[in-house]
Amino acid sequence: MKTLNAVTTGNTYAGPTCSPGCGNDYTWLRARRPDGPLAPSRPVRYKQAGLSMSAARPRRPKPGRQHGPPQPQTHAATTPAVSWRPLWIPAALALLLLALSFVPRVAGNPVLVGSFWAASAGLLAWLAVLVVSTRRHAKGRALEVVLRPQHYLQATVQVAVFVYWGYFWRPVYDHAWLLVAQLLFAYAFDMLLAWSRREHYTLGFGPFPIIFSTNLFLWFRDDWFYLQFLMVAAGFLGKELVRWQRDGRATHIFNPSAFSLGLFSLMLIATGTTDLTWGQDIASTLTLAPRIYLFLFLIGLVVMYFFSITLVAGSAAIVLFGSSALYSAVTGVPYFIDSEIPSAVFLGLHLLVTDPSTSPRTPIGKALFGMLYGLGVFVLYALLGVLGLPTFYDKLLCVPLLNLSAQWIDRVAASLGGTGAIGDRARWGGTWSPARANLVHITVWVLFFGAMTALGATDSRHRGDTVPFWEQACAEDRPLACQRLIQIETNYCGDNAGWACNELGRHYTTGGIVAPAIDEALAYFGQACELRFQAGCVNLLGGGTRSADPRALDLRLLLREAGPNLLEMPEPALYARACDHGWTFAC
């Protein structure tokens, strides 16, 4: 006769277990009751073990109670039976991914539909191979649910960024169904990868921050979206396969999203195919959301409070701000065109480089890690610009290298913290508890951000926002000023500002600050004429280099300060703003 026994130990209810000969047709859940609020070190666990069962453990006799003479204990040998139930989960996810291809957002693009079908077919084929292998070796698969706060809290913060940013840049909301598809793919891929290597899989919110973090910085256009699935797969492969021993346990080396972003950034740079992605648009449209720096600062405090990453983000910001200010003081022009710290970089130092699992553990190590990230972004921005490559890759390329250096940084930090005056000063409050030290670090960060805001280095108007500033800097032959002027006017011409297109035509005609190129000059004059800028038509027909003041329509684009276009601003306020920007004709 089959019997079931319940075993209870401390705070853990182990659920019913089988006595020998019970069979393996049951699935149970094991729940651990936390002693206090959720914390990363005490995840909530639910374990499904419906694959093989052993005899219940005998109760340990309590001290002082007589239970008769001890009897020899025997354990029945059992053969694990194959459990099919967990394997239905990746099958269901793959079919849901296939069903998403019929959503209007996806169905309207045959290439996108093909990407979804190919991803679903690949998952189902992998599952079929796994099922055959499972039957051949008579090995089951186990599923354990672990809900870690660092996963679901970070995912919540990332969703807040998408919601706020997308309200002002609609392609983010249009991307929502594709985010859902990536989550389905990520869960199925992660399960199949784990079960292909072992019998156990831990289910939780882990894929959410990986997918959201990846898409906050890079996603492929619809016609190339199959590469997005490959990028997601690369992140999970790096997490599963590239590991080392750290603090006595095997763990992944790289932040999964940073690993895939860095790898695909290198591939896009090497092949010159950045235009297959929304990367440049993502980096430049965050500022369309009003007060984006303040918003990122506030949601960043949530992550800093719960996971003590303040030293990483704060030290990175301090290095970037200090380096940029020093460059500006020496050269007379900003290092970054229209900010001291670009908004996309500010996002990265809060939600990309701060992964606690792949960064240093010690306080000094965290500070060094953040400083190296700030220095890396600063150097890469200049290097990419010199090479004529998109500069938005600056925040992505250095993170994997820093992850690889995390243990070395901790060793350096330990040597600094244990010797001499440096060690005495670098203990960051050696007698403080970690929670108290983190509150002190957050306080310092709040004060520093307040100082940045007071100096106009966050959401207020930056001097690099004004075209007349760059015209004057170019005339004075300031470093990179003429190159920046061409870049700014190219951006505004792309926004359909006729004045900017005409100015580009003049530059390529005269060859003063760029090499003469008559074909490009005529193309820009033609675009200015199409936008009904009269001087552009005159130059196109007569071959001249006539200039004219911007129209009100042009000013609504030229004065936006990296924010939304000023289509609703009354003309008196518009011209007053133009005067503040240095356009003397408007004063």
Confidence of residue 25 (pLDDT cuts 50, 70, 90): very low
What pLDDT, on the 0 to 100 scale, is given for residue 418? 58
Q: How confident is the model at residue 83 (pLDDT cuts 50, 70, 90)?
A: low
Each residue's pLDDT tens digit, 110-159: 999 999 999 999 999 999 999 988 888 767 788 889 999 989 999 999 99
Beta bridge partners of 145: 46, 203
Residue whose tokens read 């993170």: 399
Looking at residues 371-397, what average pLDDT do you find? Answer: 95
Paired with 12 in beta bridges are 9, 32
pTM: 0.81
Q: Would you place residue 562 in the very low, low, confident or very high pLDDT band (cuts 50, 70, 90)?
A: confident
Percent of the chain with pLDDT over 70: 83
Confidence grade of residue 414 (pLDDT, cut at 50, 70, 90): confident
- The sign one gets for the Cα dihedral 114, 118, 119, 124 is positive
Helix, coil or strand: residue 78: coil
Q: DSSP code of 339?
A: B
C-beta of residue 502 within 8 angstroms of C-beta of residue 525: yes
Q: Confidence band (pLDDT; 50, 70, 90) for 356?
A: confident
Q: Count of CB atoms within 10 A of residue 222's CB?
A: 18
To the nearest 10°, report the CA torsion of 292, 297, 299, 305: 170
How far apart CA 114 and CA 120 sit, in angstroms, is 10
275 closest CA partner among 237, 209, 223 = 223
Contact 535, 548 (CB under 8 A): yes
**Tokens standing for residue 48:** 């499904």
Q: CA 16, CA 3: separation in Å to the nearest integer?
A: 10
Between 157 and 429, the higher pLDDT residue: 157
23 pLDDT more than 50: no
Which pLDDT tens digit goes with each residue over 336-349?
A: 988 889 999 999 99
CB burial class (10 A; 0-12, 13-18, 19+) of residue 391?
buried
> Parallel, antiparallel, or unpaired for β 200-203 and 142-147?
parallel
pLDDT, tens digit, 9 for 90 and up, residues 508-550: 999 889 999 999 999 999 999 999 999 999 999 887 889 999 9
* Contact indicator for 217, 395 with CB cutoff of 8 Å: yes
Residue 277 is given by DSSP the state: B
Residue type, 288: L
Is residue 449 very low, low, confident or very high in pLDDT (cuts 50, 70, 90)? very high
Does position 27 have pLDDT exceeding 50, yes or no? Answer: no
Taking a C-beta distance cutoff of 8 angstroms, is the pair 579, 464 a contact?
Answer: no
User: What is d(CA 583, CA 547) in angstroms, rounded to the nearest whole number?
Assistant: 14
List the one residue out of 150, 171, 152 whose CA is nearest residue 162: 171
Alpha-carbon span 290 to 281, nearest angstrom: 17
Neighbouring C-beta atoms of residue 572, cutoff 10 Å:
8
Determine the 3-state secondary structure of 336 from DSSP: strand
467 and 558 in contact (C-beta within 8 Å)? yes
Secondary-structure breakdown of the chain: helix, strand, coil percentages, each rounded to the nearest 5: 60, 10, 30
Asked if the model's pLDDT at residue 465 lies above 60, the reply is yes
Tokens 């319940």 belong to residue: 6
Q: What is the pLDDT of residue 296?
A: 96
Residue 21 confidence (pLDDT) above 60: no
Q: Is residue 250 within a helix (H) or strand (E), and if so which, with residue range?
A: strand 249-252
Summarised one tens digit per residue, pLDDT across range 39-50 is 444 444 444 444
Tokens 């005056």 sit on residue: 421
Strand runs labelled E in 63-214 = 142-147, 200-203
Among 140, 235, 138, residue whose Cα is nearest residue 189: 235
> CA 546 to CA 218: how far, in whole Å?
41
The answer to whether 234 and 260 are in contact (CB under 8 A) is: yes
Q: Give me the domains of the chain, ranges plus CATH numbers.
A: 279-418+425-460 (no CATH), 463-586 (1.25.40)
Who contacts 355 (Cβ-Cβ below 8 Å, separation ≥6)? 255, 258
Q: Which of 53-62, 109-118, 324-333 has the lowest mean pLDDT?
A: 53-62
- Say how many C-beta atoms besides its own lie within 10 A of residue 232's C-beta: 26
| pLDDT tens column, 95-107 | 999 999 999 999 9
The count of residues in the chain is: 587
Distance, CA of 207 to CA of 209 (rounded, Å): 6
End-to-end CA distance of the chain: 97
Mean pLDDT of 564-585: 91
Q: What is the pLDDT of residue 337?
A: 86
Angstrom distance (rounded) from CA 11 to CA 291: 47
